[in-house]
Amino acid sequence: MNSPKHPNDGLSEAHPLIEPLRNWYRVAQRDLPWRRTRDPYAIWLSEVILQQTRVEQGRAYWERFIAEFPKVEDLAHAPSERVMKLWQGLGYYSRARNAHRAAKLVAEGGGSFPQSAAGLRELPGVGPYTAAAVASICYGEPVAVVDGNVIRVVSRLLDLELPVDRAPGRAAIEALAAELVDPADPGQSNQAMMELGATVCKPTSPDCAGCPLATGCLAFERGSIGMRPLKIAKIKVEKVSYHFEIQLREGQIWMELRPDRGIWGGLWSLPISENAPLDARAQWGPFHHELTHRRITAWCHLLAIKPGDGSEEKTANGRWVSTEAIGDLPLHRLMERIWQDIGPEMEREG
């Protein structure tokens, strides 16, 4: 199969692509609220939310966060439980915890974000991609963003046969991405590359006829679009079983706050055990739920709780919650689904 002999072959063709990409973006860009501002807080928040999240879903969350926390100081001073509640349903909850910590650091430093990609990377949860996006859009630093969309676009431009999830392939991607940064407006060219990958150079059924870079795309020329990008890593999915314990006492249920590290960190849940309890009065399930690395099968068990059995002395990471108030807690998605199913019955039991 034909391919550039060296990962950097074809880079001399990259500079002429900046102008058609810029012209295309001016006309084709989506009207997104964070593109109407240069406020680093608003843009940083959008990048945090859009990690692992579709724009259509993330936009609503961004608007809710901005409405409730219009400034970074507002987010910094918010109760963690409220932050997690607003984040509920987005998944990858470490993003919310890190964003809260980052906001506190920025607020403690006077409310100004670092103005370079290197400085931004010092904030919790800010990696190379988010740092480059904020630094280029807000401060004009000519540094390339490299996310999944950019990787796909660049790997097709190069018709790259090197796996993009290995160091040599990643280096080739970063080299061309850097060449495609417009020094006159790096923020706009970075957004244009991401927009192109999201709306035109899609994983399947890309619109090559409508692509402004088609004339410089080796994969388009050679008919190998569907084979790029090349990856060799595969995600191992673990099958797990969880048993949720419903401890009901005088109209209240014992809920526990999940530790920050681990699954559903920072969210509230019924206590989880690996084995079904022996003294369950009733059982519900199975409930099925899929995460990136886990395929979960879960059951709920109503335990027999009697006065004086020690239920008054509980661990410090939980509290008794009335059945009516459980929905007000920041719950993980599976817990939310389970409670929607069994909550009415628990209110009758209570």
CA gap 147, 194 in Å, rounded: 8
CB 256 within 8 A of CB 317: yes
| Strand duo 268-269 + 294-303: pairing | unpaired
> Residue 20 corresponds to which amino acid?
P
- Residue 143 burial (C-beta neighbours within 10 Å; 0-12, 13-18, 19+): buried
**Side-chain half-sphere CA neighbours of 18 within 13 A:** 21
> Residue 176 corresponds to which amino acid?
L
> Angle at CA 104, nearest 5°, toward 116 and 147?
45
Cα dihedral 304, 307, 310, 316 in deg (nearest 10): 90
User: Mapping DSSP to helix (H, G, I), strand (E, B) and coil, where does residue 321 land?
Assistant: strand
55-76 as b/e, with b when 16 or more CB fall inside 10 Å?
eeebbebbeebbeebeebbebb
How far out from the chain centre does Cα 261 lie? 17
**Residue 149 structure tokens:** 């969309």
Backbone phi and psi for residue 261, each to the nearest 5 degrees, phi listed first = -90, 130
Choose, from 13, 19, 47, 290, the residue flagged as catalytic. 47
| Strand duo 238-249 + 252-257: pairing | antiparallel
**Residue 37 structure tokens:** 């501002």
Q: Is 47 a catalytic residue?
A: yes
The catalytic residue positions are 47
